[in-house]
């Protein structure tokens, strides 16, 4: 009958301690069990895909580490010593648990590598993400992608809450708790409908004039609104808005008929080309902004998230 540890000296699972430096590694224990099962160091080595000298060295190292001999070697093969039998008996459930852990981790990796949750600001989601996701599908056709469009503040919250594997934001600063890399540059344009008086204006609109003009604006929390508010802060900020809308499509429609709007040049390129909107020049205002990919601080994008991030850096 194998001796069992004294329960009074058993570690408390709720207060894990440090493992002894004499505890053998799992690979060495796996080799020991294979030698005992097959009766031969050479056959065990072949089964595990290592050379016999390497297997012999690993067993010898484990014996030195533990401090007792584990195998008796003879021309007829190898058999366990009494200590070796005990170590093998104790090791078997440990290896079974380790194999279950290994399988579970592999399943997590497979799940990660076949699923990608992306949260992106409206500009990125509508005007950049489709091209990137098509490229991702070509590179990783088995990946199921979920894309959520939100303003930049909500994107940051979703990434921090673990609801998205990768986020894309627009604005002047990266929210706390997130690491970032710039993936594109953008700037805002002042646009009006072709019937608006500013559509025929030759002189640029100044910052002071724009600040006192009721505008069609994005909601607070959006990167577009943040950039505009920062640019107009020296002039007292924006006056009471004409409209506040959370949809880029609605903003463009309102700009045609209701009043001036400040929008990403990515979002209005088609309307400007077709003459549905007119770009009005601005003076003394910097409305440029970076577009960034973000993820939780202390982590790195992995699997499809890393692949998508690489695709965004390619243009």
Q: pLDDT by residue (tens digit) across 49-96?
A: 999 999 999 999 999 999 999 999 888 888 999 999 999 999 899 988
Q: How far apart are CA 120 and CA 124, in angstroms?
A: 6
Q: What letter would DSSP give residue 234?
A: G
Residue with tokens 């965004």: 312
Cβ contact 291:183 at 8 Å: yes
Q: How far apart are CA 7 and CA 176, in angstroms?
A: 48
Q: How far apart are CA 129 and CA 60, in angstroms?
A: 57
pLDDT recorded at residue 247: 87
Count of Cβ atoms closer than 10 Å to residue 8 Cβ: 5
Q: pLDDT by residue (tens digit) across 230-267?
A: 999 999 999 999 999 988 899 999 999 999 999 999 99
What six digits make up the tokens of 242? Answer: 């004409």
Percentage helix, strand, coil for the chain under 3-state DSSP, each rounded to 5: 45, 20, 30
Q: pLDDT by residue (tens digit) across 288-309?
A: 999 999 999 999 998 899 999 9
Burial 51-77 (b: 16+ CB within 10 A, else e): eeeebbebbeebbeebeebbbeeeeee
**CATH class of the 22-112 domain in this structure:** mainly alpha
Q: pLDDT by residue (tens digit) across 31-49?
A: 999 999 999 999 999 999 9
pLDDT recorded at residue 22: 81
The domain ranges of the chain are 22-112, 116-309
Cβ contact 231:285 at 8 Å: yes
Question: Which of the following CATH numbers is that of domain 116-309: 3.40.190.290, 3.40.50.620, 3.30.465.10, 3.40.1000.10?
Answer: 3.40.190.290
Q: Let me know if the fold of 22-112 is the same as that of 116-309.
A: no
Full-prediction pTM beyond 0.75? no
Q: How far apart are CA 295 and CA 178, in angstroms?
A: 5
Q: How far apart are CA 164 and CA 176, in angstroms?
A: 16
Give the H or E element holding residue 278: strand 278-280
Q: pLDDT by residue (tens digit) across 163-211?
A: 999 999 998 888 889 999 999 999 999 999 999 999 999 899 999 999 9
């Amino acid at each position: 009958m194998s001796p069992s540890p004294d329960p009074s000296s058993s570690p408390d699972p709720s207060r894990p301690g440090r493992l002894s430096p004499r505890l053998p590694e799992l690979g060495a224990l796996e080799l020991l069990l294979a030698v005992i099962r097959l009766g031969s160091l050479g056959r065990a080595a072949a089964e595990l895909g290592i050379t016999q000298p390497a297997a012999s060295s690993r067993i010898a190292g484990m014996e030195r580490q533990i401090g007792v001999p584990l195998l008796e070697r003879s021309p007829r093969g190898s058999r366990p010593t009494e200590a070796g039998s005990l170590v093998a008996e104790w090791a078997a459930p440990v290896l079974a648990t380790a194999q279950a852990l290994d399988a579970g981790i592999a399943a997590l990796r497979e799940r990660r590598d076949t699923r990608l949750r992306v949260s992106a600001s409206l500009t990125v989601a509508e005007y950049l993400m489709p091209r990137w996701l098509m490229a991702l599908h070509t590179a990783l056709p088995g990946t199921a992608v979920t894309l959520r469009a939100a303003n930049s503040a909500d994107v940051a919250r979703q990434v921090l809450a673990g609801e998205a594997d990768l986020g894309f934001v627009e604005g002047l600063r990266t929210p706390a708790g997130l690491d970032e890399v710039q993936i594109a540059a953008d700037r805002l344009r002042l646009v009006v409908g072709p019937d608006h008086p500013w559509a025929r204006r030759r002189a640029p609109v100044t910052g002071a004039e724009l600040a006192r003009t009721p505008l069609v604006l994005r909601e607070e929390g959006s990167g577009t609104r943040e950039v505009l508010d920062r640019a107009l802060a020296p002039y007292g900020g924006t006056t009471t808005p004409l409209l506040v809308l959370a949809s880029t499509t609605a903003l463009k429609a309102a700009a045609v008929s209701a009043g001036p709007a400040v929008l990403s040049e990515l979002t209005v390129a088609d309307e400007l080309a077709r003459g549905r909107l007119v770009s009005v020049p601005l003076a003394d205002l910097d409305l440029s902004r970076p577009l960034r990919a973000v993820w939780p601080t202390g982590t790195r994008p992995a699997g499809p998230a890393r692949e998508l991030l690489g695709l965004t850096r390619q243009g």
